[in-house]
């Protein structure tokens, strides 16, 4: 598994908020894609309710996952491909490494894949002395910079063209330019040489289809098509949930995926791959391997509260509307998956206690639910995660996150049971608040544990008389 | 069944009352106040304003004064047992009520949507909750969708921008109702701010637990209010409004933060 730093959420969020380049980039991203995707859904010929249908398709696929994967495996094998089920990240990485070693691979070109980030593929290949080159422009930029993706679809969104110009001067030895087409051309030139020399290509899988026995990769740069057809060997990695039963269903999912990802009706390149090059075909690898990865997904599948998370196709539409992601950026989430999807799936994959701030650090505003191409109710699952953190949960090995908070809510539940007691508590608080610093009728500083409120805003004080008291006083005559 | 005023009858009744000072003959269905705890304890004038508007329409109001909280704070923090305590109490108190009206989209969302989740393993409580939920309305929704009233004869001199609260907008899908009400207010100019549908960063305990993120969000919201040129920001949920008002105050701005009930109760 790749590095996990979910416990640094607050610290990294603070850093993201203080980074003006990131802030500007996030505004641009959300203005363009957040609004664009909503418009793209609105203009679906079937209407926005197609998302509801997609949800049903995914629900059905996940309910029949074992059978669908079996069918897929049979078809891939019948076509001369290899299919491997990896229970853990380690098994998936080891399989990829073994294929590389067997084929004497020295250079791997990669199509962008978040699941490869999840399992930590690049460091493992590099440790084995194999050169790995990311071929998606954004991924290439952050690989050169030695960073991690900060967005599922737009991994280098946190960098502007000036950063990239400096990076390319340093790493590619080009003359400095901040002109995006010129920068892109420089990357393209460097990558072309890699494509031609690579022995192995790797990719993710946007979606697999059981009926036809193929996988699809979608890209806007054509790089995945090159990475999967030019080298001798292609190894594709997929989360075990990324499959639907039939081609007609598949088409719906793919159309929504492209709308969710980039407000496009269809990505520029969509490749359908079902095995290695056949005799007489001009393109394609000699060997094709599909690695189907569990890595904690079976546990999600087994829990009816969280199974819906497996419907996700990682389009990243939720990132483009999330007001929290829009301020803190993707690195704060401490794992491959950021934004609302990360806030739910990362705790489930990597440990709930460790990622407690991902579960609690959202406002439950619901924008992600409306943006989701598969109509997934992420806030519902955030709430379910919070329940686990509140009381602990044996099945998920969760310990209560805060005894103090538990006590506070228990006290609160006694207070709200009795209006007289409640009012007494309010009276005490209303008296106590007079001792707090205030200006122009607003409280300037609150004591612990609620001091966070007044860190950068004031608070209107409690009223002298509640509405209920006044109603009783004036109406009950 | 949902108790509603006959939509055809209401404007006529209102006209009779306004033009001839007549008190409508037919007894009005009872309307029960469900007052969000933040309104009850921090901004009671919002409830006063709502009462003024509803009584101005000739409604007979009652208010169970032993109500405290619907349970949302505990529910959102994951403390469902404690939230159930609050929810059961709410159900018992409001079970015999008339049509329920609340000056908070968030609380209505809790009752309509989350009570079902909260009592998913207790069908009897779930059914009781659903019966109440079916007659619980947010204030602007109640005026426009149930009473079919948009013009309340209010007057407010100023440029107003409207903040869409998350649970009102995406929870119970109320978007146009408050805007329609505001457009009918004499002297009021309604201007849209950028990202009016973005969360203000309140989120209950979120604002206290994650103050840096919350502050970044509310400061964006206040920037958008300022950039809209409005002198007043209006919303339908006091949680958001306390958050926005707190940031406005800390930044020393002169923007007014008001609940829609205050605007609708405003007379020249």
Report the pLDDT value the prediction gives residue B268, as an integer from 0 to 100.
Answer: 73
| Chain A residue closest in CA terms to B195 | A31
Question: What gap in Å lies between CA B133 and CA A140, rounded to an integer?
Answer: 53
Between B42, B63, B69, which is nearest A416 by CB?
A: B69
Q: Walk along chain A (477 residues) in steps of 10 and give the mean pLDDT of each run.
A: 92 98 97 96 93 98 98 98 98 98 98 96 97 97 96 94 96 96 96 97 98 96 96 98 97 96 94 95 95 98 98 98 98 97 98 98 97 98 98 98 96 96 96 95 96 97 97 85
Neighbouring CB atoms inside 10 A of A448's CB total 6
Q: Is residue B38 located within the same domain as residue B132?
A: yes
Helix, strand or coil, per DSSP, at residue A55:
helix
Measured between beta carbons, which residues in chain A are less than 8 angstroms from residue B79? 387, 390-391, 405-406, 409, 413
Q: Is residue B216 located within the same domain as residue B97?
A: no
Contact residues, B window 38-97, toward A, CB-based 8 Å cutoff: 39-44, 47-48, 63, 65-69, 73-82, 85-86, 89
Q: Is the CB of B211 less than 8 angstroms away from the CB of A461?
A: no
Is residue B190 a part of any domain in this protein? yes
- Domain with residue B229: its CATH number is 3.40.50.11810
The secondary structure element, H or E, covering residue B258 is strand B256-259
Is residue A24 a part of any domain in this protein? yes
Measured between beta carbons, which residues in chain B are less than 8 angstroms from residue A453? 207-208, 211, 246
Measured between beta carbons, which residues in chain B are less than 8 angstroms from residue A417? 68, 85, 89
Neighbouring CB atoms inside 10 A of A229's CB total 18
Between B67, B170, B243, which is nearest A369 by CB?
A: B170
Q: Is the CB of B199 less than 8 angstroms away from the CB of A17?
A: no
Q: Is residue B129 located within the same domain as residue B175?
A: no
Between A389, A410, A454, which is nearest B78 by CB?
A: A389
pLDDT tens, residue by residue, B35-92: 999 999 999 999 999 999 999 999 999 999 999 999 999 999 999 999 999 999 999 9
Last residue of a domain, one of A298, A329, A362: A298
Question: What gap in Å lies between CA A42 and CA A265, rounded to an integer?
Answer: 12
Q: Is residue A116 located within the same domain as residue A263?
A: yes
| Chain B residue closest in CA terms to A453 | B208
- Cis peptide upstream of residue A449 (ω within 30 degrees of 0): yes
Helix ranges, A64-157 (H): 65-78, 89-102, 114-119, 121-127, 137-145
Q: Is residue B111 located within the same domain as residue B69?
A: yes
**pLDDT of B14 above 80:** no
The minimum CA-CA distance between A389 and chain B, rounded to whole Å, is: 7
Q: Is residue B26 located within the same domain as residue B139?
A: yes
Between B39, B171, B246, which is nearest A459 by CB?
A: B246
Last residue of a domain, one of B124, B144, B164: B144
> ipTM of this predicted complex?
0.96
Q: Is residue B158 located within the same domain as residue B140?
A: no
Sign of CA dihedral A324, A328, A330, A335: negative
Report the pLDDT value the prediction gives residue A268, as an integer from 0 to 100.
Answer: 94
Last residue of a domain, one of A268, A298, A328: A298
Q: Is residue B99 located within the same domain as residue B175?
A: no
Report the pLDDT value the prediction gives residue B11, as an integer from 0 to 100.
Answer: 46
Last residue of a domain, one of A273, A298, A323: A298
Q: Is the CB of B85 less than 8 angstroms away from the CB of A328?
A: no
Tokens at B2, concatenated: 């949902």
Q: Which residue has the tokens 């999840």?
A: A118
| Chain A residue closest in CA terms to B76 | A383
Last residue of a domain, one of B113, B144, B175: B144
Q: Is residue A37 located within the same domain as residue A171?
A: yes
Is residue B1 a part of any domain in this protein? no
- pLDDT > 90 in chain B, percent: 88
DSSP A181-248: HHHHHHHHHHHHHHHHH-SEEEE--SEEETTTTEEEEEESSSHHHHHHHSSSEEEEEEETT-EES-HH
Measured between beta carbons, which residues in chain B are less than 8 angstroms from residue A426? 41
Measured between beta carbons, which residues in chain A are less than 8 angstroms from residue B196? none
Cβ A91 vs Cβ A299: under 8 Å: no
- Domain with residue A124: its CATH number is 3.40.50.10420
Q: Which residue has the tokens 């010929």?
A: A45
Cβ A108 vs Cβ A100: under 8 Å: yes
Mutual angle of helices A467-475 and B44-56, in 10-degree steps: 50
Measured between beta carbons, which residues in chain A are less than 8 angstroms from residue B243? 457
Q: Is residue B160 located within the same domain as residue B105?
A: no
Q: Is residue A281 located within the same domain as residue A423?
A: no
Cβ A292 vs Cβ A204: under 8 Å: no
Interface with B, mutate which of A457, A463, A464, A472 (most B CBs under 10 A):
A457
Q: Is residue B183 located within the same domain as residue B132?
A: no
Measured between beta carbons, which residues in chain A are less than 8 angstroms from residue B192? none
Is residue A391 a part of any domain in this protein? no
Question: What gap in Å lies between CA A393 and CA A400, rounded to an integer?
Answer: 8
The minimum CA-CA distance between B149 and chain A, rounded to whole Å, is: 25
Question: What gap in Å lies between CA A180 and CA A100, rounded to an integer?
Answer: 35
Q: Is residue B135 located within the same domain as residue B157?
A: no
Burial class for A79, CB neighbours closer than 10 Å (0-12, 13-18, 19+): middle
Is residue A321 a part of any domain in this protein? no
**pLDDT of B9 above 50:** no
Is residue A290 a part of any domain in this protein? yes
Average pLDDT over residues B180-204: 98
Q: Is residue A276 located within the same domain as residue A418?
A: no
Report the pLDDT value the prediction gives residue B19, as an integer from 0 to 100.
Answer: 52
Total CB pairs under 8 A between chain A and B:
188
**Residue A78, φ and ψ in degrees, nearest 5:** -60, -30
Question: What gap in Å lies between CA A116 and CA A204, rounded to an integer?
Answer: 7
User: Which domain range does residue B133 map to?
Assistant: 9-144
Measured between beta carbons, which residues in chain A are less than 8 angstroms from residue B213? 13, 17, 324, 327-328, 361
Measured between beta carbons, which residues in chain B are less than 8 angstroms from residue A360? 77, 205-206, 209-210
Q: Is residue A176 located within the same domain as residue A46?
A: yes
Is residue A193 a part of any domain in this protein? yes
Is residue B2 a part of any domain in this protein? no
Cβ B113 vs Cβ A366: under 8 Å: no
Q: Is residue A435 located within the same domain as residue A293?
A: no
Q: Is the CB of A456 less than 8 angstroms away from the CB of B215?
A: yes
Q: Any idea how long chain B is?
A: 268
Q: Is residue B30 located within the same domain as residue B70?
A: yes
**Average per-residue pLDDT for chain B:** 92
User: Which domain range does residue A469 map to?
Assistant: 414-475
Q: How far apart are the first and last CA of chain B?
A: 39
| Chain A residue closest in CA terms to B214 | A324
- pLDDT > 70 in chain B, percent: 90
Q: Name the residue among B10, B267, B55, B5 with its Cα closest to residue B157.
A: B267
| Secondary structure percentages of chain B, helix, strand, coil, to 5 | 50, 15, 35
Q: Which residue has the tokens 């030139």?
A: A189
Is residue A257 a part of any domain in this protein? yes
Q: Is the CB of B43 less than 8 angstroms away from the CB of A463?
A: yes
Last residue of a domain, one of B144, B175, B208: B144
Measured between beta carbons, which residues in chain A are less than 8 angstroms from residue B242? 459-460
Q: Is residue B173 located within the same domain as residue B216?
A: yes
Is residue B94 a part of any domain in this protein? yes
Identify the band that residue B18 occupies on the pLDDT scale cut at 50, 70 and 90: low
Q: Is the CB of A360 less than 8 angstroms away from the CB of B210?
A: yes
The secondary structure element, H or E, covering residue A134 is strand A131-134
Between B42, B77, B203, which is nearest A462 by CB?
A: B42
Is residue B4 a part of any domain in this protein? no
Cβ B233 vs Cβ A355: under 8 Å: no
Q: Name the residue among B262, B264, B268 with its Cα closest to residue B47.
A: B262
Q: Is the pTM of this model over 0.90?
A: yes
Is residue B237 a part of any domain in this protein? yes
The minimum CA-CA distance between B8 and chain A, rounded to whole Å, is: 31
Q: Is the CB of B209 less than 8 angstroms away from the CB of A361?
A: yes
Measured between beta carbons, which residues in chain A are less than 8 angstroms from residue B201? 323, 363
Identify the band that residue B25 occupies on the pLDDT scale cut at 50, 70 and 90: very low
**Residue B56, φ and ψ in degrees, nearest 5:** -60, -25
Q: What is the DSSP letter of B143?
A: I
Give chain A's domain count: 2
Q: Is the CB of B216 less than 8 angstroms away from the CB of A327?
A: yes
Give chain B's domain count: 2
């Amino acid at each position: 598994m790749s590095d996990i730093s979910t416990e640094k959420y607050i610290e990294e969020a603070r850093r993201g908020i203080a980074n003006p380049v990131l802030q500007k980039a996030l505004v641009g991203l959300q203005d363009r894609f957040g609004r664009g995707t909503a418009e793209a859904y609105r203009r679906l010929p079937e209407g926005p309710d197609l998302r509801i249908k997609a949800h049903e398709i995914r629900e059905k696929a996940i309910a029949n996952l074992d059978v669908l994967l079996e069918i897929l495996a049979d078809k891939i094998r019948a076509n001369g491909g290899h299919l491997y089920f990896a229970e853990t990240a380690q098994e998936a990485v080891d399989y990829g490494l073994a294929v590389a070693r067997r084929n004497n691979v020295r250079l791997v070109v990669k199509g962008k894949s978040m699941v490869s980030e999840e399992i930590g593929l690049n460091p493992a290949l590099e440790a084995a002395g194999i050169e790995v080159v990311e071929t998606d422009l954004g991924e290439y930029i952050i690989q050169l910079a030695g960073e991690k993706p900060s967005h599922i679809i737009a991994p280098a969104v946190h960098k502007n063209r000036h950063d990239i110009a400096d990076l390319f001067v340093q790493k590619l030895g080009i003359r400095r330019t901040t002109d995006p087409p010129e920068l892109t051309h420089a990357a393209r030139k460097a990558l072309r040489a890699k494509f031609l020399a690579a022995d192995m290509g790797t990719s993710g899988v946007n979606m697999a289809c059981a009926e036809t026995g193929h996988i699809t990769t979608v890209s806007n740069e054509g790089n995945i098509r090159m990475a999967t057809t030019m080298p001798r060997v292609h190894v594709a990695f997929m989360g075990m949930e990324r499959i639907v039963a039939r081609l007609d269903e598949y088409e719906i999912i793919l159309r929504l995926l492209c709308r969710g990802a980039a407000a496009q009706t269809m990505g520029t390149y969509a490749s359908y791959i079902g095995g290695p090059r056949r005799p007489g075909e001009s393109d394609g690898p000699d060997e094709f391997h599909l690695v189907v990865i569990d890595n904690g997904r079976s546990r999600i599948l087994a829990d009816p509260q969280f199974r819906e998370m497996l419907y996700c196709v990682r389009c990243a539409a939720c990132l483009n509307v999330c007001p929290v992601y829009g301020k803190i950026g993707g690195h704060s989430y401490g794992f491959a998956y950021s934004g609302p999807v990360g806030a739910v799936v990362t705790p489930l994959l990597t440990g709930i206690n460790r990622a407690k701030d991902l579960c609690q650090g959202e406002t439950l505003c619901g924008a992600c639910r409306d943006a989701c191409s598969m109509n997934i109710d992420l806030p519902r699952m955030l709430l379910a995660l919070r329940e686990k953190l509140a009381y602990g949960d044996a099945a998920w090995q969760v310990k209560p996150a805060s005894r103090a908070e538990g006590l506070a809510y228990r006290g609160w539940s006694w207070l709200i049971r009795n209006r007289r007691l409640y009012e007494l508590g309010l009276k005490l608080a209303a008296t106590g608040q007079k001792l707090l610093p205030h200006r122009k009728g607003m409280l300037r500083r609150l004591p612990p544990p609620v001091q966070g409120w007044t860190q950068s805003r004031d608070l209107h004080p409690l009223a002298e008389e509640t509405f209920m008291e006044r109603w009783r006083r004036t109406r009950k005559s | 069944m949902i108790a509603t005023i006959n939509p055809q009858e209401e404007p006529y009744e209102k006209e009779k009352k306004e033009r001839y000072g007549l008190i409508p003959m037919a007894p009005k269905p009872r309307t029960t106040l469900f007052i969000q705890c933040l309104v009850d304890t921090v901004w009671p004038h919002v409830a006063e304003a709502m009462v003024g508007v509803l009584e101005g329409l000739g409604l007979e109001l009652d208010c169970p004064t032993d109500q405290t909280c619907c349970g949302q704070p505990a529910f959102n923090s994951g403390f469902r047992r404690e939230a159930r305590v609050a929810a059961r109490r709410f159900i018992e108190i409001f079970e015999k009520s008339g049509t329920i009206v609340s000056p908070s989209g968030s609380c209505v969302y809790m009752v309509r949507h989350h009570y079902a989740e909260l009592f998913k393993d207790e069908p009897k409580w779930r059914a009781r909750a659903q019966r109440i939920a079916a007659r619980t309305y947010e204030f602007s929704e109640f005026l426009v969708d149930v009473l079919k009233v948009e013009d309340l004869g209010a007057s407010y001199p100023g440029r107003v921008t409207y903040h869409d609260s998350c649970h009102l907008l995406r929870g119970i899908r109320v978007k146009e109702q408050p805007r329609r009400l505001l457009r009918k207010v004499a002297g009021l100019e309604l201007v849209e701010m950028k990202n009016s549908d973005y969360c203000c960063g309140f989120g209950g305990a979120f604002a206290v637990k994650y103050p840096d993120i919350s502050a970044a969000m509310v400061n964006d919201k206040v920037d958008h209010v300022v950039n809209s040129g409005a002198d007043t920001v209006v919303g339908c949920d006091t949680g958001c409004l306390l958050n926005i008002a707190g940031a406005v105050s800390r930044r020393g701005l002169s923007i007014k933060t008001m609940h829609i009930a205050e605007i609708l109760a405003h007379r020249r």
